[in-house]
Chain A
């Protein structure tokens, strides 16, 4: 098993870790104290750049570098928006951090705000996470009472406020520009980039958007230094990562492991193997928006570069495990229904494309498809890709294309025999 130190989940199951006294006892808020005592905002940013930390929201953009895109000496306030929308199917890591170790999220947010000279941060949390929102609000009030948050933090003349803003159940609002539109009180439609949020974001002011897990790494980086952090993982994907295991796996759940861990180790050593001793058929390694890997690819390493080489993506690291009994047409249909439901409708290729993908898959599912439908599906995918304002359209096509590519025989069987080639059987106990 991998030899490493936990950065994010070190205290996740410690009793009462969500209470500030326990969080402090376990070393909490030392990083904030250290930064305010002895580091300039620029040197915090410098340390994060040196660590090589990359965004955990899906795109993997270097975090420290993103911060340097802010205009120097902006006359407008600078905003920090923490992306806690967590809606990518297969992903449930930010929720665990927020619910069980909310002060870690708050401390990471405060450090990032200090680094970018932001006085007002927002945590945009998906509306359904009612308990998570309560946990964050409680943590904020506890931190304020101890002088870690609010006016004149630790007597150092730094003011930072955090507001927990609840979303309304729209996947699209996890996309950073839609998140900002939503936070402004509007329907959550994505905006055209450029201008990038760092130049013109929330209320047209310079804005940084970072994922919950991304920011939860910052206290460790400030406490222990960039080198300690980048000692874990790979050269280009440093640090640890929370992998979310779901589907047909014996021990589903979140696992913090070094970047670059082999998928096989993740599934069989940590996840306890495929449920009920069945055979593995496919794995979607980075949330529902990335191409699947077939069972013979389980030796791939779980980091940004290795997964790209294997033709897929690390994405949000939502690892969905699919066993041999699953009909891949049904799986594709299930995800097509999700994307059709969640397309905001702003761009025609995405709105109509997701509609037709779902309609055709439904037809095949019902045994009324034709072999020509497969080429039609691929053509629709091509029409969506690259032709939309935000990447939701591009996120809707990999499940369709990769199931057709690897399991064309199942589609053909479905069309000619009018039924599934395999059947999952009862799974609800």
Chain B
């Protein structure tokens, strides 16, 4: 193991992995936290990076694969640069989440589960995100966007587009 040449993991990720090493009395406990490190860097569970991380942590790769197949918040394949997750559970539906989804599909010209052709945005629906009092809401990457209206959604999409310099 110790001989792995690291290619994909960023310095920040490696630093975090080293912090996590030895943190728990039983080594395997760290599995979910390692998936978070990969997810934070890549936005999905990048398989080669996961291999590197498993090597650093000295934990069998299979343990990570098993966890990744159970825990739904980690995409297994590349998603858009901005991954939009709309809450569809009751409190959000009562405040118009279905219409929010329709609006996003129209604005981004993609279907549920799709990615825009420039790979900028991807769209999915998820279950309750613990933000029911500020419905309707969506999560984009790490961030919650709450109390959404049509005007606010347009603003958010525009801001993200211009942040990436794609006007």
A53 within 8 A of B: no
A375 to B94, CA, bound (A): 27
Interface pick from A181-189, A220-228, A231-239? A181-189
A173 to B70, CA, bound (A): 11
For residue B127, which residues in chain A have a CB less than 8 angstroms away from its CB? 87, 89, 171, 338, 341-342
Q: Quick one: given A244-B132, A320-B91, are A203 and B35 in contact (CB under 8 Å)?
A: no
| Candidates A246, A335, A429; contact of B133 at CB < 8 Å | A246
A54 to B36, CA, bound (A): 33
| Candidates A128, A203, A252; contact of B139 at CB < 8 Å | A128
- Is A163 touching B94 in the complex (CB atoms < 8 A)? no
Chain B residue nearest to A322 in the complex (CB): B94
Interface centre among A92, A170, A335 (most CB of B within 10 A): A92
CB contacts under 8 Å to B, within A406-429, are 424, 426-429
- Is B150 touching A248 in the complex (CB atoms < 8 A)? no
B166 within 8 A of A: no
Chain A residue nearest to B144 in the complex (CB): A131
- Is A248 touching B90 in the complex (CB atoms < 8 A)? no
- Is A428 touching B99 in the complex (CB atoms < 8 A)? yes
Q: Taking the nearest CB of chain A, how far is it from the CB of B16, in angstroms?
A: 11
CB contacts under 8 Å to B, within A46-98, are 77, 86-92, 94-95
- Is A128 touching B150 in the complex (CB atoms < 8 A)? no
B23 within 8 A of A: yes
Q: Mark A307-336, 1 if CB is under 8 A from B, else 0.
A: 000000000001011100010000100110
Total interface residues on A, CB under 8 Å, equals 60
Q: Taking the nearest CB of chain A, how far is it from the CB of B82, in angstroms?
A: 15
For residue A342, which residues in chain B have a CB less than 8 angstroms away from its CB? 127
B76 within 8 A of A: no
| Candidates B26, B97, B128; contact of A89 at CB < 8 Å | B128
Chain B residue nearest to A203 in the complex (CB): B26
For residue B126, which residues in chain A have a CB less than 8 angstroms away from its CB? 169
Contact residue range for chain B? 35 or more
B30 within 8 A of A: yes
- Is B149 touching A92 in the complex (CB atoms < 8 A)? no
A169 to B148, CA, bound (A): 22
A147 within 8 A of B: no
A95 to B139, CA, bound (A): 15
- Is B70 touching A428 in the complex (CB atoms < 8 A)? no
Q: Taking the nearest CB of chain A, how far is it from the CB of B57, in angstroms?
A: 11
For residue A41, which residues in chain B have a CB less than 8 angstroms away from its CB? none
B95 within 8 A of A: yes
CB contacts under 8 Å to B, within A128-183, are 128-131, 163, 165-171, 182-183
- Is B63 touching A129 in the complex (CB atoms < 8 A)? no
A245 within 8 A of B: yes
Q: Taking the nearest CB of chain B, how far is it from the CB of A13, in angstroms?
A: 15
| Candidates A131, A203, A254, A335; contact of B90 at CB < 8 Å | A335
A-B CB contact pairs (8 Å), 15 listed: A92-B132, A95-B131, A120-B25, A127-B36, A131-B143, A169-B72, A170-B70, A187-B69, A203-B26, A246-B91, A246-B135, A320-B132, A337-B88, A426-B99, A428-B96
Q: What residues of chain A have their CB less than 8 Å away from a CB belonging to chain B?
A: 77, 86-92, 94-95, 120, 126-131, 163, 165-171, 182-188, 203, 244-248, 252-254, 284, 288, 318, 320-322, 326, 331, 334-335, 337-338, 341-342, 424, 426-429
